[in-house]
Amino acid sequence: MTTTQAPGSLPTARGGAEPLGAWVEFHQEPCRSGRTYQILVNHRTHVALDLSASEAGLCQQLGTGGRVETTDPAVSAFLSELREEGFLASSPPPAKPGRRLTASLSALDVHWSGADRLVRAAHDRGARHLFHPAAVAIQAMLALAGLVALIAAIRSSHAFQLPVHPAQIPLVIGLSLAAIAIHEFAHALVVIHHRRPIDAAGVRLHLGVPAFYVEATAALVLTRRQRLTQAAAGAWAEWQFTAAAAIWLWLAPVPAAPIVHRFVILNALTIASNLAPFVGLDGHWLLADAIRMPDLARRARGSAGRLATALAEGEHVPAGDRLLAGYSTLNGIVAIALLAGAGFLWYQLFGGLTRGLIHHGLPGWLALAAAAAILARPTTSAAAPRLTAAARSGRALYQAIAFRLQWRWRIPATRRLAATVPQLAGLSDHQLGVLAGHLRRTRGSHLDHLTGYGIVQAGAVTATSAARTPMTLTAGDTWDPRHQLHRAITRGTVLISIQTAAIEQLLRSPDGDLSTCP
């Protein structure tokens, strides 16, 4: 069940804190494994806060007029965050004027905050009928016919033309713009249909190609079913458009047929990839609500790093957390693959134009440099967070694997050293943990430089003891710094050791700081 309080339904709080503003909405719903998903949405600033259980309890208290204890530092910090972000009745954010058009040259973005009226008008003047069961049935038939036409397009004798001639660029961009406009309009239409507002719409340059977008914070507080429809609507509507183009191509002569043929096949691929269940794509929202985890993206963020730490510290990690970490890593890999795909398609679209410009010598190069300077900024600002997230997941995964593999030998070796070397007997668990991190594994051919204490992990070595007695050490035997190494007598001999200096420093600093040790 979803309990949603309409804006303005939160009455005045008595006691130490002010009530929430009438423009603020508290939303909670039960989700996976008995948890409750709770958010607070500011309909004026279009900011949504994910709430912890205690924060949600506090918001409910503010809503029902209960007394709020403000001497607790955590509560005070949360209340000041609410005040600063304009969530409290006493600190309203300035109401934004409608129809405001803002343009950002550096981001190559035109942002229109009056889009709500346009979509609402379209909805009320006819688009609402698209939700009628009969209309949905017709859409389903068009979608299926489009699938048949797509197969026909793939199997047709038309050669698939990937590179674009400079003269064809406007048509290619025009078709793509129409598809994206329909996609975004459909997302917005579902929000409006469920009597919720759209924050803004706009158009920005993405990799040198214009792309529309729609913003709607209120989509977060739709019911789960409504959110699933809203997430699917974009791809569904875009497919209707692509299907119509495919059917036209199949049944009648089409002007610029090679470009329409290219559009049908590439856009079918685009729609399919957008439905892949990874963060940043519509498929992620579908997955999140299908598995009843609306905060999937937030929970996956940083989960690979947390898994690495937990594994390194030998903690038990629940299966759910392992899955989240795997999902987070896949998100990073998919982000890189999508970026590479976008770069490849960009080259197919603008490669001919670029080569043509280079052919014109200096003026051509200057034009290229100017275009690169203008286009690079929004592209890098869009790609940078994805790439850093991907790099972070990759590093965390590498560490997790490395730790997993290394701690298999580090822990038993530390236990064995602590049991046999008298100096180590008094070390705390924490100090032993630090010691484990500083063990080194040396293989047969590098044993000559061996100093400090150690353990033979595999194979055997011959040596002379401190009392000048010849001896053979085999797996499990302890190495003493006073031993003189003779040689390894089996291939694959491995010694795990720690330098005497490291042990001495560890004994001097009880907090186990070995930062200056080699």
How far is C-alpha 284 from the geometric centre of its chain's CA atoms?
A: 10
Are 242 and 250 in contact, with CB atoms under 8 Å apart?
no
Q: Which is nearer to Zn ion, 206 or 483 (CB)?
A: 206
Spatial CA neighbour of 409 closest among 346, 467, 328, 476: 476
DSSP 8-state symbol, 315:
-
Q: Which is nearer to Zn ion, 282 or 289 (CB)?
A: 282
In the complex, the smallest distance separating the C-beta of residue 186 from Zn ion, rounded to whole angstroms, is 8
Q: Which is nearer to Zn ion, 234 or 512 (CB)?
A: 234
In the complex, the smallest distance separating the C-beta of residue 110 from Zn ion, rounded to whole angstroms, is 19
Q: Which is nearer to Zn ion, 237 or 434 (CB)?
A: 237
What does the alpha-carbon distance between residue 360 and residue 188 come to, in Å, rounded to a whole number?
A: 45
In single-letter form, the type of residue at position 74 comes to: A
What does the alpha-carbon distance between residue 414 and residue 432 come to, in Å, rounded to a whole number?
A: 7
| Residue carrying structure tokens 């080699």 | 518
In the complex, the smallest distance separating the C-beta of residue 286 from Zn ion, rounded to whole angstroms, is 10
Tokens linked to 164:
């674009």
Q: Which is nearer to Zn ion, 382 or 489 (CB)?
A: 382
Q: Which is nearer to Zn ion, 18 or 238 (CB)?
A: 238
What does the alpha-carbon distance between residue 228 and residue 210 come to, in Å, rounded to a whole number?
A: 27
Q: Which helix (H) or strand (E) holds 442?
A: strand 440-443
Q: Which is nearer to Zn ion, 185 or 453 (CB)?
A: 185
In the complex, the smallest distance separating the C-beta of residue 231 from Zn ion, rounded to whole angstroms, is 7
What does the alpha-carbon distance between residue 329 and residue 366 come to, in Å, rounded to a whole number?
A: 41
In the complex, the smallest distance separating the C-beta of residue 274 from Zn ion, rounded to whole angstroms, is 6
Q: Interface residues with Zn ion (CB under 5 A)?
A: 234, 282
SS3 readout for 89-110? CCCCCCCCCCCCEEEECCCCEE
What does the alpha-carbon distance between residue 378 and residue 208 come to, in Å, rounded to a whole number?
A: 9
What does the alpha-carbon distance between residue 467 and residue 482 come to, in Å, rounded to a whole number?
A: 9
Q: Which is nearer to Zn ion, 55 or 282 (CB)?
A: 282
What does the alpha-carbon distance between residue 484 and residue 469 come to, in Å, rounded to a whole number?
A: 10
Q: Based on C-alpha coordinates, what's the Rg of the chain?
A: 32
- DSSP β-ladder status, 460-464 and 484-488: antiparallel
Partners of 213 in the beta sheet?
A: 202
In the complex, the smallest distance separating the C-beta of residue 445 from Zn ion, rounded to whole angstroms, is 58
In the complex, the smallest distance separating the C-beta of residue 180 from Zn ion, rounded to whole angstroms, is 9
In the complex, the smallest distance separating the C-beta of residue 178 from Zn ion, rounded to whole angstroms, is 15
Q: Which is nearer to Zn ion, 296 or 396 (CB)?
A: 296
What does the alpha-carbon distance between residue 93 and residue 23 come to, in Å, rounded to a whole number?
A: 10
Classify the phi-psi angles of 454: left when phi > 0, otherwise alpha if psi is within -120 to 50, otherwise beta.
beta
Tokens linked to 484:
């003189």
In the complex, the smallest distance separating the C-beta of residue 184 from Zn ion, rounded to whole angstroms, is 7
Using CB positions, name the residue nearest to Zn ion: 234
